[in-house]
Structure 1
Amino acid sequence: MRGLAWFVGAGLAVCAVGSPASAQDAGEAMDEALHDALGARRAGDVGKAQDIISSAVTAFEDSFEDGVDVYCASSPTATITYMALAASQKHKAIAVTDSYCDARFLLAYQLAEEGTYAAAAQAIERVLVNDPMNSHYLNELGFARSHAGDLAGGLEAYRSAQGCAGLADESDQPHWTALALRGQGWVLIEQGKWDEAEAAFHESLEFEPDSEVAQSELNYIAQNRN
């Protein structure tokens, strides 16, 4: 593993807040804000990116109806799953643009870049309230927790990420699964569980056969295990 690629990018999804017209406007504004924030980050202006996101998130949340569960529509399968979950709990729920969660995740990414992993983990946990089965976020939670010293919590998050990879878009499922397995392997090395770590990296190669990271970790295990 030895470091993960944090932010992959945002897609456009459904927004179901308020009336149809206001829902579309709110979703488009959130999407545009995330685009602008990413542009500011690429230009090296992290402060501007944070300001854009904070302002947009506040405005977007002001459009939510009280007492409604809010889920990010990160994939069609996830959206259906969340709506079914809410219905089973007799909760009123809405699915909103995934830019809402991605923007907040970007703030967590900044915390991790600064090396404040515990704070990053807490920020990701808050995003997961609105997209609890997002394999990408769960993988990054595993990264943040484990680098903050919470190896058990990191391993738990990586295993959850593996279990939830099937809710991602079909083309992304192998990557999130492999990433989760590599994360597990890294934590297991740190815990001194060499056999389990080796098995995790070998399994990850079933999903990303050309991964130099996995092969490097397998070489590391071969050279360092007792």
Structure 2
Amino acid sequence: MISPRVNTRVWQRSISLLSPQAAKTESNVVTKERTYIENLSKDIATSRFRLVDENGKIASITVQPDIPICIKKDCLVSIHNLNHLSLSYKWLNFWSNLIKFRSFKSSLFHRIIGSSVLEILAAPNFQTSRRPFDSSRSLSVLNLTGTKDWNVFGKDSIIAFEQNSSLEIKSPIFPSARSLVSNSSKSQLPRKFQILNGRGNVLVCGGGLVYSIELIDESDKILVNSRNILAINGQ
């Protein structure tokens, strides 16, 4: 419900609040982003991440030959085509995540690589939940094109990513103070985050349904509880 005193012009701007899992239409920004990724895949080998259900409880990952894929421990559901498969462990930002999140599990991933195309299913905390597909957590896919960095908040938010020469995931121990300033008010973003930059696909997980919010220009504003922010990009 909108209060009558709210300036209606603010609500006529092109701000979209979408659930990526159930959305029927796509904005021009999302369409252009996907087109860029499709054109990019013609030149370099890349993996394909997609959600297989409307609620975002399980994701399908198609992995090209000789491209390593990293999936968080306890989130691996199944692997199709086990021929010539290499499986090992990978520690992601071990010391910095241990200091920030007080947990080594946030850094432990399965590293999977095959000599042929692999089909993988992943779900949040699949092997530790009593009802893995009925949990309150849902997935979302980030397609990085190299134009913007993503800041991902939370120790268990990154579920899977492709390990290529372009994609980089950093976890600064002492991040610089970052804030959003609006007139005289000032609010800080959560300080415990990981930075994604480069090009590639990353599967992230949040509590409840994950929604995408697009602010087109500087005049567009929205209030969000900092505890509910999963990831953010832009400048």
Larger strand share, 1 or 2: 2
TM > 0.5 fold call: no
Higher RCO (C-alpha 8 Å, min separation 6) = 2
Instruction: Please indicate the TM-score interval, normalised by the length of the shorter structure.
Output: under 0.3
**TM-score, with normalisation over the residues of structure 1?**
0.24
